[in-house]
Structure 1
């Protein structure tokens, strides 16, 4: 599945003065002492001075002016504003180059040249990463329209002074984000549990091994909650397991668990119109985990991962699991179903218990579009985080700040556990509306127990109702860049790994 997208073509090149260049040259500027100041040094055009004298270009954030030079090797020159230099951050770079990409797409200018530019406070490698992220993430297309064509950018970096490997590593992560977006945007009739399993297995090679537990194996393992959620669908539930060993000498093993509900009707507690239309993206946590797993392998990160993706369709049928009934989990805890639309935590609970029992994990991170309440709390800007481990939560906050896939902690005080009490089972699956993002996390905590753990509720950040700064409308692929950054930070600071 590849929606109108081509592999990004990025070349590194030295600038040759006597050579003619097709395309548009991008020249970044910032505001210094109320004046537009160039952030590059090798290019000079009289037209720039003329635009400045007229006040037609002031270098405000995302401001664009362009001209056709009378002389020189370039067809077009575009001036790009980054705003006040004191306020320019990596996120500013992403935003500005995302805006640039949308402008270039509107003009159908797909041959782009970017010269080496610099900011004193930002390392060249980070500057490169931010601008490529903003530009390429914005270039993503999801469309099934009959006559729409793909953007085919040819991006040349002039005198940038970075290695080809640096560029390739950035592309690896972008491609994984695109995979996650594709999976969450794709038709629910296509992206089924079987499709997810087939996609995951296609990446099984070398030190990344993928296996799948089908319905018979789930029954043998007595994974009652995952089986319950999938009862009403023709598509059978599955548990996808991916194991990447990048550091064989280390005993550290990180579990990544992603919710993979490929369509959520709400079950017999049916979702209303206005809520059900985007439920094909209820497997965004699974998509992020799979994307991060593939990127970690392709980047050859020195970490060890076990990814678990419980996947099912929460459909309506005479066999659908029912409110008021009690089901036994893999851990043997019994769960009273008080709301069939609180299904994500059920499949996560079985997956969490399974990886805890079968693998010697040292910490666990789960990602899920779990509650609408988190959208009320943080909107589309921030993912909610609930954790039982301060070291892990601080590292994820740092990774979120670096990537701008920000997370923010919420408390999980034991008093909220009272809302999950059941008269007939060990626990109920829903505590009602009060503190519902937190009670959802407390439900998971029952199965996590003492393992260092962080739960990321991405219900607000995984799918956008309108285009964002460098995200198109629809699936964002949130979590891929966050997890890869966390793993890189961990690789750089092994002391942050929990001791066994």
Structure 2
């Protein structure tokens, strides 16, 4: 989709459609009022007749015999809350995509936002309209020959809006890539597939290089915890390192570590069959790191950033780990495996150790679909945030508020650590039935001591379950891209 900025008035636009916003009360925004006046008070009459009441995201498409069709979008009350503005933009993008129009113009300069500036608003435009183009048909034998699309969007604004629109568009492309990787079937999206995708990204930027650790190298490095998971599958595990070095030479990189369990049966601690197909989404932490890297490349951000992916399958077999096994992690910690379905932390702990020893990061954040307990606590609204570093927590919370990809900070207190005590090893891989999200984070904290580290549990936010809604969400790419962009 092409994004164009112009200062030409909206009533002179010659394309297919005009996107106009209608509030639930008060005066029409300037662009809508201009068209309303030219059409002899037509939009006001539609409001008076209750054809459009201005409720948030309400949509009405009006064909025009002469000139562009009108796509009217309810805006709610002004000043408009950030979440309502995003809902309105998504409704506008969806209406444009499903209409017969391929081109449109939009002008939001006179819309009053509650707590957000126009720079933020233009980022949301780029994200919403580019994001509407996501469509997954990779595995269908009959593809839509003429899929609905958006060829171009003309934004009436000052030229300074171009960078913000580009930021939002790049973010949406990263989200779409994350969604595609998550939606791929697990017989395609294997650890080797993720490694190949990382190599493809490296061809897009001279600043990016990839390094892949195979199981022989992991054995040499003493990654017994990771290998205890991957050994149950015929698919070999991989640790994938993507080194994007576009910042100042010698500056320590910011590191993201993604959980990439490309399918999670639970291992010997087998999951129930119902809904197990959605366990292909257990690699969405890894997918979000790849999506974030794509967005960073698109934006050419001058930053030193390393993405590390711990990719493996968790399968039951004669080679799989058993409850009661004890394994040794890369840092020498011995781990009693009480439940083989708590495998994400087993691959992440070795990946974290490797990332810390190799890159000496300025900050390190892991992203994982780690616990059902976090989903039970926060639902599908917030991702769980765990860290003992207050300034890092604040940075991530600010990025989440800006991106509207929200998080909620959960406790990580010393008192929870004793729940991981083991009679036979240094640590157990689960902490019992209580505080499951926190004990999982406590486990990871044992491998990140002294680091500026945070853990994001995205079990509830990485995908949508069931029916037509089922699919990867692309979260937390908006949070991560904003977090990294704020480091510049």
Query: Structure 2 length as normaliser, TM-score?
Result: 0.92
1:14-53 CA-to-partner distances (Å, cap 9, x unmatched) read 64899783422111122344x6555556433222233234
Hey, what does 1:52 align to over in structure 2?
47
Pair 1:105–1:164, CA change in 2 (3 A): closer
Q: CA deviation at 1:262?
A: 0.4
Please tell me whether residue 21 in structure 1 is matched to residue 14 in structure 2: yes
Hey, what does 1:4 align to over in structure 2?
none
Please tell me whether residue 244 in structure 1 is matched to residue 244 in structure 2: yes
Separation (CA, whole Å) in 2 of partners of 1:118 and 1:188: 47
Pair 1:433–1:132, CA change in 2 (3 A): same
Q: Is the 8 A contact 2:384 2:458 kept in 1?
A: yes
| RMSD across aligned positions (CA) | 2.3
Q: CA deviation at 1:422?
A: 0.9
Q: Is the 8 A contact 2:97 2:149 kept in 1?
A: no
Separation (CA, whole Å) in 1 of partners of 2:110 and 2:457: 36
Hey, what does 2:299 align to over in structure 1?
299
Please tell me whether residue 337 in structure 1 is matched to residue 347 in structure 2: no
Hey, what does 2:23 align to over in structure 1?
30
Deviates more, 1:248-257 or 1:409-418: 248-257
Q: CA deviation at 1:112?
A: 2.9
Q: Is the 8 A contact 2:242 2:308 kept in 1?
A: yes
Please tell me whether residue 475 in structure 1 is matched to residue 472 in structure 2: yes
Give runs of aligned pairs for residues 71-150 of structure 1, distance below 5 A.
71=66, 73-74=67-68, 76-86=69-79, 88-121=80-113, 122-143=116-137, 144-149=139-144, 150=147
Matched position secondary structure for 2:189: coil
Q: CA deviation at 1:116?
A: 5.0
Separation (CA, whole Å) in 1 of partners of 2:10 and 2:474: 41
Please tell me whether residue 321 in structure 1 is matched to residue 314 in structure 2: no
Hey, what does 2:182 align to over in structure 1?
184
Please tell me whether residue 68 in structure 1 is matched to residue 63 in structure 2: yes
Pair 1:413–1:275, CA change in 2 (3 A): farther
Q: CA deviation at 1:80?
A: 1.3
Give runs of aligned pairs for residues 346-357 of structure 1, distance below 5 A.
346-357=346-357
Hey, what does 1:439 align to over in structure 2?
439
1:303-341 CA-to-partner distances (Å, cap 9, x unmatched) read 222221111000111001111010111111110100000
Please tell me whether residue 195 in structure 1 is matched to residue 187 in structure 2: no
The answer for unaligned runs of 5 or more in structure 1 is 1-7, 492-500
Q: Is the 8 A contact 2:9 2:156 kept in 1?
A: no
Matched position secondary structure for 1:287: helix
Deviates more, 1:165-174 or 1:424-433: 165-174
Give runs of aligned pairs for residues 341-420 of structure 1, distance below 5 A.
341-420=341-420
Q: CA deviation at 1:85?
A: 0.6
Separation (CA, whole Å) in 1 of partners of 2:375 and 2:108: 40
Pair 1:12–1:434, CA change in 2 (3 A): same
Give runs of aligned pairs for residues 220-235 of structure 1, distance below 5 A.
220-235=220-235
Pair 1:466–1:445, CA change in 2 (3 A): same
Separation (CA, whole Å) in 2 of partners of 1:473 and 1:138: 16
1:216-246 CA-to-partner distances (Å, cap 9, x unmatched) read 1111111111111001111100110111122
Aligned residues: 477
1:409-429 CA-to-partner distances (Å, cap 9, x unmatched) read 111122221211111111010
Hey, what does 1:489 align to over in structure 2?
486
Separation (CA, whole Å) in 1 of partners of 2:9 and 2:399: 39
1:262-306 CA-to-partner distances (Å, cap 9, x unmatched) read 000000000102241201110100111122123223323232222
Matched position secondary structure for 1:91: helix
Hey, what does 1:160 align to over in structure 2?
157
